[in-house]
Structure 1
Amino acid sequence: MASPSSFLPPRNWVYDVFPSFSGEDVRVTFLGHFLKELDRKLIIAFKDSEIERSHSLGPELKQAIRTSRIAVVIFSERYSSSSWCLDELLEIVKCKDESGQMIIPIFYGLDPSHVRKQTGKFGEAFAKTCQTKTEDETKLWRQSLIDVANVLGYHSQIW
């Protein structure tokens, strides 16, 4: 039997990987090493540092997500303190559903259950971010966190 993704139209990907992350937590410690390794293996990753300074960030990020074959979501303690990260996550889940984009979660310094259930410091940051948002926005973010945290990924405390 054919898989659902076999019914999707062929895509012309611009990037192999779109990394979604909280810069405060991982830009210096993890992301630099991760991107260097992707470059070494000739895997094309979107790099937000290469966006021209005069361009608007939101549309550039959405376009990069939509034209990436794989989204690597690097969950960290402060990921949920950023509405930018949570909005990226919504777009990533949308692309998974609409075009079969693969999602690989990485749990950096936290347990996957903290993301799934929005508990611990991750949950505290999420609650604070949601204070100024509508109930509908919060519900969408929460469901996206659950969906992605339920995907088999990598846990930084194990490797």
Structure 2
Amino acid sequence: MYSPTEAHQVFLNYRGEELRYSFVSHLIDAFERRGIDFFVDKYEQRGKDLKNLLVRIQESRIALAIFSTRYAESSWCMDELVKMKKLADKEKLQVIPIFYKVRPRDVRKQTGEFGENFWTLARASSGDQIKKWKEALECISYKMGLSLKDKSSEAGFVKKIAEEVQRVIAAIEIDEEKENHFVNHFGEKRKKACNCECELLISKRCKTKKNL
């Protein structure tokens, strides 16, 4: 279920050339069948500024970082990941790492075939950019995620991801409901207390003037 204007529940961050018409297409189908609202960049017009995608990430509640062998070939994937880390650090976004036939250690340490692709990209990039990418890869890959190994069932893996996303969405909604209740309940009490204090202060001022 894709909405171009409403806030999205899930943002998909992945290497399009590698996964768009295979794994990610099955994941999208599972989300649509379960009524999970999501954003995937295949709907974004090519040639647009990266800022458009960064805004989409900021609008989302959850982001899936789908790490695959060729993920680190893309500076767009890496820049999206940096944005996701910033929001996660501020507790404004929940990021779930998905390891698609790649070891978490290779993502974290930029080793193996994943690492080779990363360092090929890094050779054409600035030092500050590389530092941010490495920090994002390490931070996100340490989070609790899901892994698909070689010769494992992709259908079962897709189902597992969809179930986990639904669980996280439900937990977020419960937390938001509790937070709104807390603000409404205690915020009203504080407002009343403030009014009482103000009235008392005004009353004292009036009595002082009369005495004068």
TMscore range, shorter length: 0.7 to 0.9
CA-based RMSD of the aligned residues comes to 1.5
User: Partner letter of residue 74 of structure 2?
Assistant: S
Equivalent residue number for residue 19 of structure 1: 12
Instruction: Name which of 26, 43, 48 aligns with 1:50.
Output: 43
**Structure 2 residue matching 1:28: 3-state secondary structure:** coil
Equivalent residue number for residue 111 of structure 2: 119
Equivalent residue number for residue 41 of structure 1: 34
| In 1: Cα distance, 2:117 partner to 2:30 partner | 30
Number of residue equivalences: 146
Q: TM-score scaled by structure 1?
A: 0.86
Once the 2 structures are TM-superposed, how far is the Cα of residue 100 of structure 1 from its aligned partner?
A: 2.6
Question: Relative contact order (C-alpha < 8 Å, sep 6+): which is higher?
Answer: 1
Q: TM-score scaled by structure 2?
A: 0.65
Assess, with a 3 A threshold, how the Cα gap between structure 1 residues 152 and 99 changes in structure 2: closer, same or farther.
closer
| In 1: Cα distance, 2:88 partner to 2:48 partner | 24
1:110 aligns to 2:102 (yes or no): yes
Once the 2 structures are TM-superposed, how far is the Cα of residue 57 of structure 1 from its aligned partner?
A: 4.0
Instruction: Name which of 134, 146, 152 aligns with 1:142.
Output: 134
| In 1: Cα distance, 2:104 partner to 2:60 partner | 24
Once the 2 structures are TM-superposed, how far is the Cα of residue 95 of structure 1 from its aligned partner?
A: 1.1
| In 1: Cα distance, 2:15 partner to 2:29 partner | 18
User: Partner letter of residue 16 of structure 1?
Assistant: Q
| In 1: Cα distance, 2:99 partner to 2:45 partner | 30
Greater per-residue helix proportion = 2
| In 2: Cα distance, 1:52 partner to 1:87 partner | 18
Residues 48-93 of structure 1: per-residue CA shift (max 9 Å, x gap): 222245x714121011000000000000001111111000000111
Gap runs ≥5 in structure 2: 1-5, 158-212
Give 1 or 2 for the bigger CA radius of gyration: 2
User: Partner letter of residue 40 of structure 1?
Assistant: R
Instruction: Name which of 7, 23, 26 aligns with 1:30.
Output: 23
Gap runs ≥5 in structure 1: 1-12
Once the 2 structures are TM-superposed, how far is the Cα of residue 134 of structure 1 from its aligned partner?
A: 1.5
User: Partner letter of residue 34 of structure 1?
Assistant: L
User: Partner letter of residue 126 of structure 2?
Assistant: T
**Structure 2 residue matching 1:46: 3-state secondary structure:** strand
Q: Which runs of 4+ in 1 moved over 4 A?
A: none
Residues 76-116 of structure 1: per-residue CA shift (max 9 Å, x gap): 00111111100000011111122431000000011111001
Once the 2 structures are TM-superposed, how far is the Cα of residue 47 of structure 1 from its aligned partner?
A: 2.4
**Structure 2 residue matching 1:56: 3-state secondary structure:** coil
Equivalent residue number for residue 65 of structure 2: 73
